[in-house]
Structure 1
């Protein structure tokens, strides 16, 4: 082989490697995972402003959205929010005296303990039910809808503010926090 054909072969191999890398990046980013930067303090203390997380898109391709999942969803055409799923389709959700009830069963929320400790004689989550968010005649979350709340209830704009979200707005589940490195964390649902 002469030098020109060796150079052509090497250029061809590099082009193929670059195309494969670009295709893999596109597939991973489009269908499996993406990096998201937390914006705001609505999920404090579990997620703080500026932290970086990996969002798993595949969890909802092969699985279901569950209560307690921390998700990223499209709030509008330009903004994404990170919140916790509190109620899914068919759930009757109610807060009374700072206590969550799903389908009339008391549900513990250990992820709120730090925020509750900073309060004195004030409820972290005001009393409300699905009826207050939707319509007085709707007692349960309709099909294809989710009730989402931030863990830092005092500052969070969530379903209490903008109503239920559509399941198809969900980008994916927060799988792990990787930045900054000293706060690496991978399980945001205490039930898992």
Structure 2
């Protein structure tokens, strides 16, 4: 009987130990499973971030490429250098140039200066086939007086001081031709007394005119459509 009791006690003790061991192991498994879930979620988030990053990088690359293509074929955003276009444009202004714009009298154009690397903004005064003369600050196109509103105040001030704002000249005095040849344009700066333009470097080929200046975009407080 005593041996049986001892056996029963041993079995009970073993059972209790087994239960205690099981109870102790369960929390560890639960903790491990929770950690695994958390790690899996973290890995998933990292993967999602990587995907988003590469998607944004790809979108940025495509956008940059498209902007580059557009700037090559459709528009340009040059910065004004020098003072030839004062008072209309000043040094440091940034303008929007439409490379598909139509060339018309008094339009501002962005042009490759003949014989130089420089590209600058000037104003179209004469078109192919036109006869141009300046006399006593009066522009005549094909014999008709044309008003230059964009420099009216400067002309008035200059005349009050006994000076011409635009020195007398004609197409004949510049080219020894009676009219502007085909494919050529007469370009002047608005700052006539100091501008370097067709009076110095001659008429400009159409192929050297990059585009039409349609607006000043910077500085923002001077934003203006032309």
State whether residues 185 and 206 of structure 2, in contact with CA within 8 Å, keep that contact through their aligned partners in structure 1.
yes
Q: CA deviation at 1:35?
A: 1.0
Q: CA deviation at 1:157?
A: 0.4
Instruction: Give the match's secondary structure for 1:17.
Output: helix
Residue by residue over 1:97-136, the C-alpha shift from the partner in whole angstroms, topping out at 9 and shown as x without a partner, is: 110000111111011112113311111111111111112x
Q: How does 1:1-192 map to 2 (within 5 A)?
A: 10=52, 13-14=55-56, 16-59=58-101, 64-75=102-113, 76-119=115-158, 120-135=161-176, 138-187=177-226
Structure with greater proportional helix content: 2
1:172 and 1:82 map into 2 onto residues whose CA distance is 10
Change (3 A) 1:151 1:77: closer
For these two proteins, the number of residue pairs brought into alignment is: 180
| Larger RCO of the pair (alpha carbons < 8 Å, separation 6+) | 1
Q: CA deviation at 1:6?
A: 6.2
Change (3 A) 1:14 1:86: same
2:116 and 2:86 map into 1 onto residues whose CA distance is 25
The answer for unaligned runs of 5 or more in structure 1 is 188-192
Residue by residue over 1:168-190, the C-alpha shift from the partner in whole angstroms, topping out at 9 and shown as x without a partner, is: 10111111112112211112xxx
Runs of 4+ in 1 over 4 A off after TM superposition: 2-12
Q: CA deviation at 1:18?
A: 3.1
Change (3 A) 1:69 1:9: same
The answer for unaligned runs of 5 or more in structure 2 is 1-42
Between structure 1 and structure 2, the one with the greater Rg is: 2
TM-score by length of 2: 0.73
TM-score by length of 1: 0.85
Residue by residue over 1:142-186, the C-alpha shift from the partner in whole angstroms, topping out at 9 and shown as x without a partner, is: 011000001110000011111100011011111111211221111
Measured on the aligned residues, the alpha-carbon RMSD in Å equals 1.9
